């Protein structure tokens, strides 16, 4: 018997989550197997959170399942979160599966490298696959330090042969290849330091492990030429920073990465940067809403051989929050590619219906003219997505 | 003729010499009353309270939001109390959090935590007059209560709901404020505001805030209910406060932007 009586308090347990119905309506016919212009699916996201009476131990779980009636590969499930947080004073130790966000900019987040993206979820979402980890986070007046051990890496997801919003030829995410003896259990590690600097926000990060951005190698896929993703180990340093004035946020994200496989499967050391600003006009047009104007520039040192579609792209956007009871929110952006002359238009509108429902409409319209661009296969995939979600 | 001119001459004298003294004393008296209110709060250190926000439309329909307001007292001369609002309903915004670090002479720092993508976003604070989550409360109604954010003018002694009050006008020094002035009715007995009238930039009466059900917790006065009525739209918002806790034991690092990550 170490100490006195066992704490009699009960753990506080909360079940929550959401269920979603989704329709994707494609504006143009595709070719071959991609014969449906309407794509229906549903998704379930149950969540559990249990906290110890002291609040120092928390167990959280979040599962995800999507059933897609057109693209069997998009039917998938994932453990988004399943973790145990132990708080020891100013330090929190996390064991399990979690997702992490790093970054400041809007068009992409170059420094955000802990999780793999759940690509089949769509061109808008920040949906990520759960990442197994052990994390130690220490919070002090001087800043926040995080250290990660990442024993295993997730494989990116890509639309299947009946699915749309994919490259031509397609990519079979399940047939991933690994370079130089690396495999899915290749151990990764990361560090992040957010010093408390007056006047601006700063994050410095380091990562070593399997790249979350694969290159691609030709394979035979049921008699057709397709691609397999090819993963290799990389080392990356990153900086994300933001300077804030009353109306304008000035943002920068930059990385230097060693060992990345480019589109020709050659190993490259390269730098990439996103910089830009977001200017907010409060009470726009005498109304109750806020209008945000976004201007960003993305540059990737690998240029045409980059695995990233934002190699030399200007992104313009507007964000409008109505500040109303329904939390109505609009975000519209266009990415102007200075290498291939392509344009990617995106618009997203969300609002709450009543107390428990949320409606979301998304429009994606690509203008792709150059068949040398890796995402040229998306050229007929202009799509309007409507989702309705119930939250409990 | 002289008799007719004389009062005129006197009034010039009055304007040149006496009136500024009167104006200065009105502003000092107003400041003193506002400071007494501020001082009545001193030393509470930190607090946590559950709030039900009920939004009434002009047509009489209503919806509710539930949130928890955490406050950490700041005694510096150039910054105000830090606040952290965490939503527990509606369900789609559950665990969304808004952190505010107010400053007297520069723009506040504000962060929003979006739990679905685990992102802490710095947000622009220029729209102080914008509505807070669709309510009749503006952001600045929550975040700009520091004495140093206004200049003052004592108006009169009076009575409100049968209680003796001192009526003070306060003028926001921040040019981004949505208000030209606010008229505050301070209870003489416990120095707390019972009513605040908000005048918009066009000098029209925009809203009235009524605070009721004051109770003393550890020597600090807090209302049970606040009602904000918008005279121009007919909409109103109630804030129903419950489960006040003081001396929670918050630290500075609990009100750091990185602390938003720890809310899970």
pLDDT at B167 over 70: yes
pLDDT at A6 over 60: no
Quick check: is A3 in a domain?
Answer: no
Quick check: is A278 in a domain?
Answer: yes
Domain containing A320 — which CATH number?
2.40.160.10
Give the pLDDT confidence of A181-192 residue by residue, as tens digits.
Answer: 788 999 999 999
Query: Which of A13-27, A350-364, B18-32 has the lowest average pLDDT?
Result: B18-32
As a whole number, the mean pLDDT across chain B is: 86
DSSP letters along A255-317, please?
EEEEEEE-TTS-EEEEEEEEEEEEEEEETGGGSS-EEEEEEEEEEETTGGG-SSS-SEEEEEE
Quote the CA–CA distance of A155 and A185 in Å, as a whole number: 11
Mutate to test the interface with B, among A81, A323, A389 (most CBs of B within 10 A): A323
- Rounded to a whole number of angstroms, the CA Rg of chain B reads 21
pLDDT at B229 over 60: yes
Query: Which of A10-14, A189-193, A386-390 has the lowest average pLDDT?
Result: A10-14
Residue with tokens 């939004």, as numbered in its chain:
B55
Give the pLDDT confidence of B68-102 residue by residue, as tens digits.
Answer: 999 999 877 788 899 999 999 999 999 999 999 98
Quote the CA–CA distance of A225 and A229 in Å, as a whole number: 13
Nearest-neighbour CA in chain B from A246: distance (Å) = 6
Comparing B128 with A242, the larger pLDDT belongs to: A242
Comparing A165 with B3, the larger pLDDT belongs to: A165
Chain B residue closest in CA terms to A251: B122
Q: Tell me what pLDDT residue B22 has.
A: 54
pLDDT at B6 over 50: no
Quick check: is A7 in a domain?
Answer: no
The reply to whether residue A289 touches residue B252, judged by beta carbons under 8 angstroms, is no
The reply to whether residue A391 touches residue B107, judged by beta carbons under 8 angstroms, is no
Would you call B109 an interface residue with chain A, using a CB distance cutoff of 8 Å?
yes
Q: Tell me what pLDDT residue A336 has.
A: 97
As a whole number, the mean pLDDT across chain A is: 92
Nearest-neighbour CA in chain A from B163: distance (Å) = 35
**Which residue from B89, B122, B256 is facing A242, i.e. has the nearest CB?**
B122
pTM score: 0.89
Chain A residue closest in CA terms to B174: A246
Structural domain for A342, as ranges: 12-391
Q: Tell me what pLDDT residue B204 has.
A: 95
Strand (E) positions, chain B?
46-56, 62-72, 82-89, 97-101, 109-114, 119-122, 150-160, 163-172, 179-187, 193-200, 205-212, 215-217, 220-222, 225-230, 236-246
Quote the CA–CA distance of A89 and A36 in Å, as a whole number: 55
Nearest-neighbour CA in chain A from B146: distance (Å) = 19
pLDDT at A274 over 60: yes
Q: Tell me what pLDDT residue A295 has.
A: 98
Quote the CA–CA distance of B136 and B191 in Å, as a whole number: 25
Mutate to test the interface with A, among B126, B202, B230, B260 (most CBs of A within 10 A): B126
The reply to whether residue B124 touches residue A247, judged by beta carbons under 8 angstroms, is yes
Quote the CA–CA distance of B134 and A260 in Å, as a whole number: 47
Mutate to test the interface with A, among B130, B141, B179, B254 (most CBs of A within 10 A): B130
Residue B191 gets the label, from left (phi > 0), alpha (psi -120 to 50) or beta, of left
Would you call B248 an interface residue with chain A, using a CB distance cutoff of 8 Å?
no
Q: What are the helix and strand counts (H, E) for chain A?
A: 0, 21
Mutate to test the interface with A, among B61, B64, B66, B91 (most CBs of A within 10 A): B91
Quick check: is A176 in a domain?
Answer: yes
Residues of chain A in contact with residue B133, where contact means CB-CB under 8 angstroms, are: 323, 325, 327
pLDDT confidence of B123, banded at 50, 70, 90? confident
Residues of chain B in contact with residue A283, where contact means CB-CB under 8 angstroms, are: 127, 129-130, 178
Q: Tell me what pLDDT residue A36 has.
A: 81
Surface-to-core class of residue A209, CB atoms within 10 Å of its CB (0-12 exposed, 13-18 middle, 19+ buried): buried
pLDDT at A287 over 70: yes
Quick check: is A250 in a domain?
Answer: yes
Question: Is A298:A107 a contact under the CB 8 Å cutoff?
Answer: yes
Query: Which of A36-50, A274-288, B182-196 has the lowest average pLDDT?
Result: A274-288
Quick check: is A194 in a domain?
Answer: yes
The reply to whether residue A16 touches residue B90, judged by beta carbons under 8 angstroms, is no
Would you call B2 an interface residue with chain A, using a CB distance cutoff of 8 Å?
no
Number of domains in chain A: 1
Would you call B261 an interface residue with chain A, using a CB distance cutoff of 8 Å?
yes
Nearest-neighbour CA in chain B from A282: distance (Å) = 4
Average pLDDT over residues B184-208: 95
Give the pLDDT confidence of A163-216 residue by residue, as tens digits.
Answer: 999 999 999 999 999 997 788 999 999 999 999 888 789 999 999 999 999 999
Would you call B75 an interface residue with chain A, using a CB distance cutoff of 8 Å?
no
Average pLDDT over residues A81-98: 94
Q: How many residue pairs bridge chain A and chain B with CB atoms within 8 Å of each other?
A: 107
Name the residue ranges covered by the structural domains of chain B.
Answer: 39-263
pLDDT confidence of B149, banded at 50, 70, 90? confident
Q: Tell me what pLDDT residue B41 has.
A: 82
The reply to whether residue A201 touches residue B257, judged by beta carbons under 8 angstroms, is yes
The reply to whether residue A282 touches residue B128, judged by beta carbons under 8 angstroms, is yes
Residue with tokens 């500075």, as numbered in its chain:
B252
The reply to whether residue A352 touches residue B90, judged by beta carbons under 8 angstroms, is yes
Mutate to test the interface with B, among A144, A199, A329 (most CBs of B within 10 A): A144
Q: Which CATH architecture has domain B39-263?
A: Clam (2.50)
Query: Which of A3-12, B125-134, B223-232 has the lowest average pLDDT?
Result: A3-12
Would you call B175 an interface residue with chain A, using a CB distance cutoff of 8 Å?
no
pLDDT at B13 over 60: no
pLDDT at B3 over 60: no
Quick check: is A371 in a domain?
Answer: yes
Q: Tell me what pLDDT residue B155 has.
A: 95
The reply to whether residue A391 touches residue B91, judged by beta carbons under 8 angstroms, is yes
Residues of chain B in contact with residue A59, where contact means CB-CB under 8 angstroms, are: none
- This model of the complex carries an ipTM of 0.89
Percent of chain A with pLDDT over 70: 97
Look at chain B and count its residues. 264
Quick check: is A2 in a domain?
Answer: no
pLDDT at A159 over 50: yes
Chain A residue closest in CA terms to B130: A288
Quote the CA–CA distance of B77 and A303 in Å, as a whole number: 52
Average pLDDT over residues B151-164: 94
Q: Tell me what pLDDT residue B12 has.
A: 42
**Which residue from B93, B258, B264 is facing A327, i.e. has the nearest CB?**
B93
Chain B residue closest in CA terms to A106: B121
Taking the CA of residue B160 as centre, how many other CA atoms within 13 Å lie in the half-sphere pointing to its CB?
21
**Which residue from B90, B176, B178 is facing A356, i.e. has the nearest CB?**
B90
Nearest-neighbour CA in chain A from B236: distance (Å) = 12
């Amino acid at each position: 018997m170490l100490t006195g009586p066992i704490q009699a308090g009960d753990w506080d347990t909360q079940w929550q989550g959401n269920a979603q119905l989704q329709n994707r309506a494609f504006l143009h016919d595709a070719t071959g197997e991609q014969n449906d212009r309407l794509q229906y699916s549903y998704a379930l996201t149950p969540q559990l959170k249990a906290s110890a009476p002291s609040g120092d131990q928390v167990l959280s779980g979040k599962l995800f399942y999507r059933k897609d009636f057109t693209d069997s590969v998009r039917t998938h499930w994932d453990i988004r979160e399943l973790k145990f947080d132990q708080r020891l004073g100013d330090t929190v130790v996390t064991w399990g599966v979690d997702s992490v966000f790093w970054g400041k900019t809007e068009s992409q987040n170059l420094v955000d490298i802990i999780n793999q993206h759940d690509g089949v979820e769509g061109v808008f979402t920040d949906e990520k696959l759960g990442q197994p980890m052990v994390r130690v986070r220490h919070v002090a007046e001087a800043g926040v330090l995080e250290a990660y051990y990442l024993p295993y890496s997730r494989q990116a997801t890509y639309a299947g042969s009946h699915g749309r919003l994919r490259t031509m030829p397609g990519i079979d995410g399940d047939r991933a290849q690994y370079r130089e003896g690396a495999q899915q259990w290749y151990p990764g590690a990361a560090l992040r330091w957010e010093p408390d600097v007056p006047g601006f926000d700063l994050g410095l990060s380091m990562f070593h492990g399997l790249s979350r951005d694969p290159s691609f190698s030709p394979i035979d896929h049921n008699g057709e030429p397709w691609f397999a993703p090819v993963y290799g180990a990389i080392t990356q340093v990153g900086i994300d920073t933001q300077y804030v004035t009353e109306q304008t946020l000035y943002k920068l994200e930059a990385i230097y990465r060693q060992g990345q496989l480019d589109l020709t499967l050659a190993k490259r050391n390269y730098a990439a940067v996103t910089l830009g600003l977001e200017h907010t006009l409060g009470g726009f047009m005498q109304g109750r809403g806020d209008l945000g104007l976004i201007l960003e520039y993305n540059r990737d040192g690998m240029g045409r051989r980059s695995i990233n579609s934002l190699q030399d792209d200007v992104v313009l956007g507007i964000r409008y929050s109505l500040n109303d009871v329904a939390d109505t929110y609009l975000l519209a952006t266009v990415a102007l590619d200075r290498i291939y002359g392509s344009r990617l238009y995106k618009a997203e509108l969300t609002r709450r219906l009543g107390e428990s429902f949320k409606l979301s409409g998304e429009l994606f319209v690509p203008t792709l003219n150059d068949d040398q661009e890796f995402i040229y296969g998306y050229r007929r995939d202009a799509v309007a997505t409507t989702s309705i979600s119930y939250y409990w | 003729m002289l008799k007719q001119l004389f009062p005129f001459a006197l009034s010039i004298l009055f304007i040149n010499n006496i009136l500024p003294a009167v104006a200065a004393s009105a502003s000092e008296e107003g400041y003193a009353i506002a400071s007494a209110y501020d001082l009545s709060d001193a030393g509470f250190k930190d607090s946590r309270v559950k709030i039900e926000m009920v939004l009434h439309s002009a047509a009489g329909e209503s919806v509710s939001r539930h949130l928890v307001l955490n406050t950490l007292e700041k005694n510096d001369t150039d910054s105000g109390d830090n606040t952290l609002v965490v939503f527990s309903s509606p369900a789609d915004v559950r665990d969304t959090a808004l952190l505010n670090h107010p400053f007297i002479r520069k723009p506040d720092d504000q962060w929003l935590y979006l739990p679905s993508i685990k992102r802490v976003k710095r947000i622009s604070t220029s729209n102080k007059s914008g509505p807070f989550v669709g309510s009749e409360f503006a952001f600045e109604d929550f975040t700009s209560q520091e004495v140093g954010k206004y200049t003052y003018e004592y108006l009169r002694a009076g009575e409100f709901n049968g209680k003796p009050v001192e009526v003070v006008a306060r003028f926001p020094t921040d040019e981004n404020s949505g208000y030209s002035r606010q008229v505050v009715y301070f209870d003489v007995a416990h120095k707390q505001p019972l009513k605040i009238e908000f005048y918009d930039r066009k000098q029209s009466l925009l809203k009235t805030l009524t605070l009721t059900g004051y109770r003393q917790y550890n020597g600090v006065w807090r209302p049970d209910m606040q009602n904000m009525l918008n005279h121009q739209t007919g909409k109103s918002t109630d804030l129903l406060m419950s489960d006040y806790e003081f001396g929670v034991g918050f630290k500075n690092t609990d009100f750091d932007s990185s602390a938003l990550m720890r809310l899970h």
